[in-house]
């Protein structure tokens, strides 16, 4: 780098001669890890772009492409201090401490963690053997006979339940909203299935479990499944501004941002006889000295540069992603911006939620010296007008949490009057309605007669420190088929006709990971006035796929009561109804498990936030029966896919079984492509 370009501050516009940056020639010898079509493109505005291919993590690697951490890890014979050769789409190397381009390791949330030694492994290699030895403990601490689990075989067998033919690479150069939604669901179910298998094994010291990477590798490299396979400049079909991702490999699967580790994604365009790179997307996740105080402007730091242990400072170079950003400045093409923001639901401060903030243009570049003394490229990006709010909305929500009255249209700061562990705001910024009809708020289900708490028996666990899947003698593990239904983060692993949670007679503590639906709300919700459906429910926080939202509270009633009243109760939940989407967990339900009795709940006179959830024929929430004792049945709601903040939460009210009196049909206003036109 030309040292004359260094600066301690942002230069005034026009004050410096930038020709030495503007006229740098492209590096033709570099080979991208996602190679472009040899035919190239004649212009950046062309609607067609070159397809890109993801190199299998375990090889073979074509000439010029090197292994990418974390898929290929040094063996014991290799020197662990020897760095890998960096391919073209390598992560931005650290010039200091860099966590911006690493995927946060899953860390157990304290509330649902069973305190066992090495519960999640120690820091180390992120690669596991696909066929792992599993030793499971009895309650007394003795080890059972080890058995091998071929995770790849289990995962591939699991995928046979899904229709993956729609992701034929020959047909999916472009995606759409439905294919993105379906693939996101498949990926997250597969990731949770792998988590479920690994959770039944004892953690291996020195090995970090990464089911997120494993699931992505199986889908992309063994099944050839992904969408939006054509790399492109501009918007990505099926992905909307404001969408959230909890794993970087998800963005690769969906075609939003190809490098799993790198912060800058780019492609080559053939201009006359030359090829030059242009940037297509960047990830700004906070560890670099990026400036994002203004939600519409981003000052982005380039890649490279390092402060070595021996004190030698290495400046950033105008190559690879930095060169692509510079070329995009001159060409004026749009760049997708993904913001990595703090995941407040995670106990670790390094965990991120990746928020797609829309299209930006680079309007200025310069070089300045950072805190470590390296010369760093800086790029000023300005957000395009007319796009939905995303990062600015995120920043507004943080202000609302600090001061609820700053939220426009607030009627009540806490609708629950302290009945929930988190407040629920009542908001109307649509009309002059002052609130829903009076009802009594209570957070859980009420039975006509209290459910007796039986004495501890063979149906109750004695796990005083909390249940764990590796304990074969745990009664609750046995009732759930040998594994616990939830991850340590409280995410539902797989759907069953019935889930068994620990009940009042179990000896495990309230923080046991098998009591997820009993811990109350975990996301900040608001009841809001919709434009055409009355009152609705949405979340200020992003909600992870499979995460618990709330249960359906109300009073358990007799079915004859609704029949006599002519079905006038609009706050009825009928567990005997069948509902979509049947594709949610295909082939994963155990039909031998039946509900102990039909459950009918009325929330007309009293209930919780669930009574405000509207119907949708394409829901983002589904319900799951949960049994806490032999006769203590509850209804819990979980997210189907990741749900961005301020997105209305809706579930399918279901279809009445044949032979039963049919309630009056109501006009459906969900607006989805699969809308039936009515609901009950």
pLDDT tens digits for 286-298?
A: 766 777 778 899 9
CB 490 within 8 A of CB 545: no
Phi-psi region of 296 (alpha: psi -120 to 50; beta: other; left: phi over 0): alpha
The mean pLDDT value for 174-198 works out to 91
At 93 the pLDDT is: 34
At 568 the pLDDT is: 63
Prediction pTM value: 0.78
pLDDT tens digits for 463-522?
A: 999 998 888 889 999 999 888 999 888 899 888 888 999 999 999 999 999 999 999 999
pLDDT of residue 605 exceeding 90, the answer is: yes
pLDDT tens digits for 363-385?
A: 999 999 988 888 999 999 999 99
The mean pLDDT value for 202-223 works out to 87
CATH code for the structural domain at 415-430+439-453+474-584+601-672: 2.170.270.10
At 198 the pLDDT is: 87
pLDDT of residue 227 exceeding 80, the answer is: yes
| 440-441 and 606-607 strand pairing | parallel
Q: How large a percentage of the chain has pLDDT more than 70? A: 71
Which tokens belong to 148? 């091998």
Considering the segment(s) 231-405 as one domain, its CATH architecture is: Roll (2.30)
CB 571 within 8 A of CB 658: no
At 555 the pLDDT is: 95
Candidates 651, 653, 648, 660; CA nearest to 679 is: 653
What is the per-residue burial (b if ≥16 Cβ within 10 Å, else e) of 139-174? eeeeeeeeeebebbeebeebbeebebeebeeeebbe
| DSSP E strand stretches across 325-472 | 334-342, 352-369, 375-383, 410-412, 425-427, 440-441
CA 445/CA 1 separation, integer angstroms: 67
DSSP, collapsed to helix, strand or coil, labels residue 162 as coil
Q: 389 falls in which pLDDT band (50, 70, 90)?
A: very high
At 292 the pLDDT is: 74
At 658 the pLDDT is: 67
The four Cα atoms 255, 351, 100, 403 give a dihedral, to 10 degrees, of 100
Please work out, in degrees rounded to the nearest 5, the angle formed at the alpha carbon of residue 195 by the alpha carbons of 192 and 200: 135
The mean pLDDT value for 44-63 works out to 43
The mean pLDDT value for 229-255 works out to 95
Cα 191 versus chain centre, distance: 11
pLDDT of residue 203 exceeding 90, the answer is: no
CA 42/CA 46 separation, integer angstroms: 7
Question: What are the extents of the domains in the chain?
Answer: 150-201+208-230, 231-405, 415-430+439-453+474-584+601-672
Residue the block writes with tokens 């510079």: 326
Rg value, the chain, Cα: 27
DSSP, collapsed to helix, strand or coil, labels residue 329 as helix
At 393 the pLDDT is: 96
At 68 the pLDDT is: 39
pLDDT of residue 106 exceeding 80, the answer is: no
At 551 the pLDDT is: 97
- Note the helical H segments in 403-509: 475-479
At 394 the pLDDT is: 95
pLDDT tens digits for 418-462?
A: 999 999 999 999 999 999 999 999 999 999 876 554 445 567 899
Strand partners of residue 377:
367
Mean pLDDT score across all residues of the chain: 77
At 438 the pLDDT is: 93
pLDDT tens digits for 626-643?
A: 999 877 899 999 999 999
pLDDT of residue 398 exceeding 60, the answer is: yes
At 595 the pLDDT is: 54
The mean pLDDT value for 133-147 works out to 44
List, in order, residues 6 or more apart from 67 with CB less than 8 Å away: 57, 59, 61, 84
| DSSP E strand stretches across 530-632 | 535-539, 548-551, 555-556, 572-574, 600-602, 606-607, 614-615, 621-627
């Amino acid at each position: 780098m030309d040292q004359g370009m260094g600066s301690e501050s942002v230069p005034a516009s026009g004050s410096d001669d930038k020709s030495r940056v503007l006229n740098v020639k492209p590096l033709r010898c570099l080979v991208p890890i996602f190679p472009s079509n040899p035919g190239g493109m004649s212009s950046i505005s062309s609607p067609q772009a070159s397809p890109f291919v993801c190199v299998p993590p375990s090889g073979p690697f074509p000439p010029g492409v090197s292994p990418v951490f974390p898929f290929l890890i040094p063996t014991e014979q290799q020197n662990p201090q020897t760095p890998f050769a960096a391919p073209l789409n390598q992560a931005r190397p650290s010039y200091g401490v860099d966590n911006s381009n690493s995927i946060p390791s899953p860390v157990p949330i304290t509330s649902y963690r069973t305190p066992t030694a090495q519960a999640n492994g120690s820091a180390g290699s992120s690669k596991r053997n696909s066929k792992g030895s599993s030793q499971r403990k009895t309650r007394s601490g003795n080890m059972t006979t080890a058995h091998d689990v071929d995770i790849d075989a289990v995962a591939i067998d699991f995928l046979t339940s899904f229709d993956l033919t729609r992701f034929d690479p020959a047909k999916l150069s472009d995606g759409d909203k439905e294919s993105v939604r379906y693939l996101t669901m498949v990926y997250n179910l597969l990731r949770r299935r792998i988590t479920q298998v690994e959770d039944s094994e004892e953690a291996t010291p020195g090995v970090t479990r990464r089911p997120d990477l494993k699931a992505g590798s199986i889908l992309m490299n063994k099944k050839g499944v992904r969408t939006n396979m054509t790399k492109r400049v501009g918007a990505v079909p099926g992905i909307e501004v404001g969408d959230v991702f909890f794993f970087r490999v998800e963005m690769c699967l969906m075609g939003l941002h190809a490098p799993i580790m790198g912060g800058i994604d780019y492609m080559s365009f053939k201009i006359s006889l030359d090829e030059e790179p242009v940037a297509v997307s960047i990830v700004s996740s906070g560890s670099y000295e990026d400036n994002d105080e203004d939600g519409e402007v981003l000052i982005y730091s380039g890649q490279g540069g390092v402060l070595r242990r021996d004190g030698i400072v290495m400046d950033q170079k105008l190559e690879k992603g930095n060169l692509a950003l510079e070329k995009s400045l001159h060409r004026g093409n749009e760049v997708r911006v993904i913001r990595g923001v703090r995941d407040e639901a995670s106990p670790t401060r390094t965990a991120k939620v990746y928020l797609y903030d829309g299209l930006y243009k680079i309007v200025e570049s310069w070089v300045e010296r950072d805190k470590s003394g390296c010369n760093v490229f800086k790029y000023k990006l300005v957000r395009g007008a007319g796009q939905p709010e995303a990062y600015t909305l995120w920043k507004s929500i943080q202000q609302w949490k600090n001061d609820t009255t700053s939220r426009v249209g607030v009627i009540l700061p806490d609708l629950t009057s302290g009945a929930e562990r988190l407040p629920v705001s009542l908001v109307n910024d649509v009309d002059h309605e002052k609130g829903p009809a009076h009802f009594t708020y209570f957070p859980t289900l009420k039975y006509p007669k209290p459910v007796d708490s039986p004495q501890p028996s063979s149906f109750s666990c004695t796990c005083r420190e909390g249940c764990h899947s590796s304990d074969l003698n745990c009664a609750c593990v046995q009732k759930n088929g040998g594994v616990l239904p939830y991850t340590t983060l409280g995410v539902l692993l797989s759907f069953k006709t019935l889930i068994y949670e620990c009940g009042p007679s179990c000896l495990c503590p309230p923080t046991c990971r098998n009591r997820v639906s009993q811990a109350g709300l975990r996301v900040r919700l608001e009841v809001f006035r919709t434009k055409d459906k009355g009152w609705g429910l949405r979340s200020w926080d992003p909600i992870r796929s499979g995460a618990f939202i709330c249960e359906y509270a109300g009073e358990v009633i007799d079915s004859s009561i609704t029949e006599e009243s002519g079905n006038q109760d609009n706050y009825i939940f009928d567990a005997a109804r069948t509902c979509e989407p049947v594709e949610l967990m295909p082939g994963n339900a155990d039909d031998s498990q039946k509900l102990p009795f039909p459950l009918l709940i009325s929330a007309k006179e009293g209930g919780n936030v669930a009574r405000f959830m509207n119907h949708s024929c394409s829901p983002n929430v589904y319900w799951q029966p949960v049994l806490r004792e032999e006769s203590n049945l509850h209804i819990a709601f979980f997210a189907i896919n990741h749900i961005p903040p301020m997105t209305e939460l809706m579930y399918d009210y279901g279809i009445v079984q044949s032979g039963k009196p049919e309630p009056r049909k109501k006009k459906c206003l969900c607006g989805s492509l699969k809308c039936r036109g009515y609901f009950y």
